[in-house]
Amino acid sequence: GSIRDSVLLQNLQQEVNRNFQKMSQEQNERGKVIYGLLASLFNTRQSSDKDAVWAREMSEKLNLPPIDYIPFKDLVNDSAGRVYQEVFFYGDKDGFDSYAHFIPTFQNGDWKITNPSKYWALITSTKGKPISIYVKKPIADPDEDEKAMNELQAYLEKNNIQPTVYIHRGHSYHVNATIAELENSAKLVMLGSCGGYNSLAQVLNVAPDAQIITSKQTGSMRVNDPVIHYIEKNIREGNDLKWETIWGNLNNLFRKDAGSYSLFQDYIPPQKNMGAIFIKAYKRMMNV
């Protein structure tokens, strides 16, 4: 999905087609599924210029839920129409810096910030749709940082709160700790760490239908916080998360700053996340 070299793309496509024929001749069902999926992704991606059109075609062809948007109703997880979310920060310098940058983005009339515990903060919407965002605080002491995670999870379990939005902040070496806390209720997972793209399979093992936002390279709070803020605005307004529109607007926003724009280009929205689409389709076709 990120290769722009037309010659390389053509060579890869030919190799995929060749291997599909080879797997068919050998009656290798797993190989046929793998190379058949890759061929579908190659061929259809090149035939459609619009992400939304391509995504709908692939959803139908591969028998997948929508991959170009998340209906607002799918994010709601209680009878009161509330959207629950969980955000993870960890106790190193990057975690403290990111937390200090993140919290002020909610210090306005649309949100209320409270601190029910020394281990976690709670951000609730004051306008629009009801939203509760549980934010694990970064704590320097490793034992206390782990306790913060356990305390927050215990609170959510006790109150039967199952978030539909999960956000990981901080370095990639903390991402496994975040993934360990995911529930299959997850509909949107944002991995704001460097190389979050490498964790797609782990996320989808827990939450098979989750849509995922990741970076192929460097995760940065200069990108993470504006992306999160814009998504939260759409959720608070009760909008479906239509990724082609959201990403187009974010692209225009980041163009104003060359450094942030360069980092943003490495972030992959759900409708372009070929790896996630491949894994979802493979699991369904192989029934695993």
DSSP state letters, 75-136: H--STT-PEEEEEE--SSHHHHHHHHHHGGGG-STTEEEE-SSSSEEEEEESSSS-EEEEEE
Distance CA 124, CA 114 (A): 8
Q: Which pLDDT value is given to residue 76?
A: 96
pLDDT at 155 over 90: yes
Residue in this structure with the two tokens 């170009």, named with its chain if needed: 68
CA-based diameter of the chain, in Å? 64
Q: Which pLDDT value is given to residue 36?
A: 84
Amino acid letter for position 86: E
Cβ atoms of residues 209 and 71 within 8 Å? no
C-alpha distance from residue 119 to each of 6, 147, 158, 215 (Å): 51, 8, 16, 28
Q: Containing H/E element for 152? A: helix 142-158
pLDDT at 133 over 70: yes
Q: Containing H/E element for 27? A: none
Please name which of 163, 224, 162 lies closest in space to residue 188, comparing C-alpha atoms: 163
Distance CA 288, CA 277 (A): 15
The per-residue pLDDT for range 187-214, each reduced to its tens digit, is 999 987 665 667 788 888 898 889 999 8
Residue 190, helix vs strand vs coil? strand
For the entire predicted model, the pTM comes to: 0.87
Residue 261, helix vs strand vs coil? helix
Amino acid letter for position 231: I
pLDDT at 278 over 80: yes
pLDDT at 58 over 80: no
The per-residue pLDDT for range 1-48, each reduced to its tens digit, is 566 788 888 888 889 888 989 999 999 988 988 888 888 777 665 555
Distance CA 185, CA 202 (A): 15
pLDDT-above-90 percentage for the chain: 52
Asked which of 61-65, 72-76, 134-138 is least confident by mean pLDDT, the reply is: 61-65
The per-residue pLDDT for range 164-176, each reduced to its tens digit, is 999 998 777 788 8
pLDDT at 269 over 80: yes
